[in-house]
Chains A and B, each alone.
Chain A
Amino acid sequence: MTRKQRRLGFILAGLVVIGAAVGLVLFALSGTITYFKTPSDLAANPVPAGQRFRLGGLVADGSVKRGESLDVEFHVTDTIKVLPVVYRGVLPDLFREGQGVVAEGRLDELGRFRADTVLAKHDETYMPPEVAKALKEKGVKLGDGATHPGASTGTPSQ
């Protein structure tokens, strides 16, 4: 083989790998990404039941109800619209009423959001950025109470 043929061979092999990767990336991006929505986004553009997405907002005050064996219900709000959420499992440490939360799951036939994952923040002074941004866009003022839960009352858990 001449130098040129060899180089061509390497370039072809490289292209095969990169082509495969591009295919995988496109396939994966079309199938696995999840959209982030607030209750108001949903009211404006309804999502069909069964489609996976991430719901963000604040846990509405006084909305957390514990049912039988690990069932939890709460409302997520962006202060304009409210959406009921049902979840079964262990809530994160920093899950609290009045605090930012991101839940991942699907809408059921009753219009409730059935979450399989609930994420709260990992830091007392930290708000999930999508939530902070979405709330800001909705014109919600984030006072100290929102960003510093030390000031807020009502801890349903613990």
Chain B
Amino acid sequence: MIAEIGHFALILALLMSLVQCVVPAWGAHVRDERLMAVGDTAASGTFALVLIAFVMLAIAYVGSDFSVANVYANSHTAKPFIYRLSGVWGNHEGSMVLWVLILALFGAAVAWFGGYLPVTLKARVLSVQASVAFAFLIFILLTSNPFERIDPAPLEGRGLNPILQDPALAFHPPFLYAGYVGFSMAFSFAIAALMEGRVDAAWARWVRPWTLAAWMCLTLGIAMGSWWAYYELGWGGWWFWDPVENASFMPWLAGTALLHSAVVMEKREALKVWTILLAILTFSLSLMGTFLVRSGVLSSVHAFAVDPQRGVFILAIMTVFTGGGLALFAARANDLKQGGLFSPISREGALVLNNVVLATATGTVLIGTLYPLALEAVTGDKISVGAPYFNLTFGPLMIPLLLAIPFGSFLGWKRGDLRAAAERLLVAAGVALVAAVIAFAFVSPGPWAAPLGLALGFWVLAGAVWELLFRARLGQAGPAEVMRRLSNLPRSAWGTSVAHAGVGLMVIGIVGTTAWQSEQILAMKPGDRATMAGYTLEFRGIEAGRGPNYSEDRARFIVTDAGRPVTELFPSKRLYDAPRQPTTEAGIHAAIGGDLYVVIGDAQNDGGFAVRLYFNPLVRCIWLGAILMFIGGALSLSDRRLRVGAPRKARKPLVVPAE
């Protein structure tokens, strides 16, 4: 019964999204307020119906109803509650329902909180949003129905892949989807604006909070995925340039560019055409990511089960929305009015540089991801494009961007003074220089470029901190006055600085761990000792243990630093009950200076065990940086400016906002 309610709710949601797509658009066309208002109700309705379907699926999972094929294939009664729940989105069908749920939630949020929007724009946004939901609901119902029954119902499920039974991964997909599905809002606003034939600063102000919210979620989602890969896969790495990682990273890059170009549009009415294009492309990249992950065209550790029919269907959806969006853009872009002028040396100029670099970087990632597909289609050669390609292309492109970030914040709008900005940034340059010198002098040998990379990270970090202090007049005013000024700075200023500081911290982490990671592979017998980065590890043997749904061989290592006890680490090899699959659990001693990371391998012929030791310097900074970016986004989102409507020109009759 539960499954049937869910299935029925999905069908109703499909019909409701059709109503939401057609009626408000028609209403906007004939200027009928009542028809447009139908959009609001329909958006709430679509969301409620998809939510019902989602909840029904969750009930089937939590209650282990194995008469539902999807639950049988991906769940097991012995799984802890949290993983029975996260199993809902740990598979293709269920995760599609979550995908559409988030899509419908964003649509409904416009209906609920979009009272300040012009009625026709709002109606069209809801309509475009519903068209995406409609397409994906058809996709789910025709190719990926999560509510299919099996008869007779099996007694026990097949279980969830154990590497997915993990707290970080339980919440990785919801954030990831909230991110790249959230970019649908930017797309819907762009298409609606093109339909209206009018784009102005106010438009940028309306679209920015949605884009920002989506970007924040995507940032956190990607960071969680990276963190999970780091400790769960047991390779000591945090990013693999895997095609599926790239699939989520490309929308992030484009979305980051979009956030910055929308700032220019909001403040200066410039870059309109580009911002609209970027909004369309960002969501297109999200759709492409969905296609790449779910069609099985890519070879990846993350790829879902392969089904060509699904791939073709998503490709068709992607073609319709990307192609349609770009066609509308081509037809209408010329009608958009030219915006404000600015000199190349200005804040706008810096933001343009940001956009050029981020867009180009997205392009290089795109080429690296799709090139193997293209080559195989043309010549039949199977190749893989791995980390060296991305390090060689993406890496150098980031250098001008990172150099420019602090300048951007210190340049004025319209016409900036590069020299004055450089003088003000001497402090940050000094910090960067000191960092580089210390790294050259005291850190064990590594690549020559590493201290420079570290300096770049400190430059961005110090530049961001200094921007706040400078605006608070540090050095000119007394401490009390500085504190007062700091607390009076707008939240958006704090947001910018915190997010940029996050970028700096992340660069520091990436450079540190890439340049100075050390690795040892040893065969150790109980009682053996090994040293790593100043720590001494004593292997105390292996013990058999038992967890809720797995058995494990748990190794014990006693870690000391110059005789002083530090911690004990318990890396293990687990064998899950269902499916019977082994996993490796790393033992990690985390510290801000670097992680000690131990993985236990196979038993050797002589009674020893293979042991892999890593020291990953500064690796925590990567995820801390991502968290700072998230916090920065949240601060900016909470700025009063974004919550109120656009400033209205005094000449126009004053309209009271509906808020």
Contact = CB atoms under 8 A, between A and B. Distances in A.
Contacts of A112: none
Contacts, number: 136
Interface string B591-614: 000000001011111000010100
A9 B342 CA distance: 12
B612 to A, nearest CB: 5
B364 interface: yes
B392 interface: yes
Interface string B280-303: 000000000000000010110101
B452 to A, nearest CB: 18
B356 A14 contact: yes
A93 B389 CA distance: 27
Interface hub of B298, B343, B601 (most chain A Cβ within 10 A): B601
Contact of A10 (B352, B364, B386, B602): B352
A26 to B, nearest CB: 10
A141 interface: no
A13 interface: yes
A21 B393 contact: yes
B33 interface: no
A2 B446 CA distance: 49
A94 B361 CA distance: 35
Given A24-B392, A129-B306, A158-B575, A93 B584 contact: yes
A70 interface: yes
A89 B381 contact: no
A34 interface: yes
B601 A21 contact: no
B353 interface: yes
B487 interface: no
Contact of A70 (B357, B360, B361, B604): B604
Given A17-B357, A88-B521, A158-B582, A70 B389 contact: no
A28 B400 CA distance: 19
A40 to B, nearest CB: 13
Which range contains the number of A residues in contact with the other chain?
Answer: 35 or more
B354 to A, nearest CB: 11
A29 B601 contact: no
Interface in A5-45: 6, 9-10, 13-14, 17-18, 20-21, 24-25, 27-29, 31-36
A35 B385 contact: no
Interface string A133-152: 11000000000000000100
A54 to B, nearest CB: 6
Contact of A129 (B163, B234, B303, B575): B303
Interface string B332-376: 000000000101100000001100110011011001100110000
A29 to B, nearest CB: 7
A94 B573 CA distance: 12
A3 B389 contact: no
Given A9-B344, A32-B388, A122-B301, A24 B581 contact: no
Task: In the A-B complex, list the 6 residue pairs whose CB atoms are closest, starting with the nearest.
Answer: A90-B601, A36-B382, A32-B388, A28-B392, A32-B389, A129-B299
Interface of B: 161, 163, 233-234, 296, 298-299, 301, 303, 305-306, 341, 343-344, 352-353, 356-357, 360-361, 363-364, 367-368, 371-372, 381-386, 388-389, 392-393, 396-397, 400, 521-523, 573, 575, 579-584, 599, 601-605, 610, 612
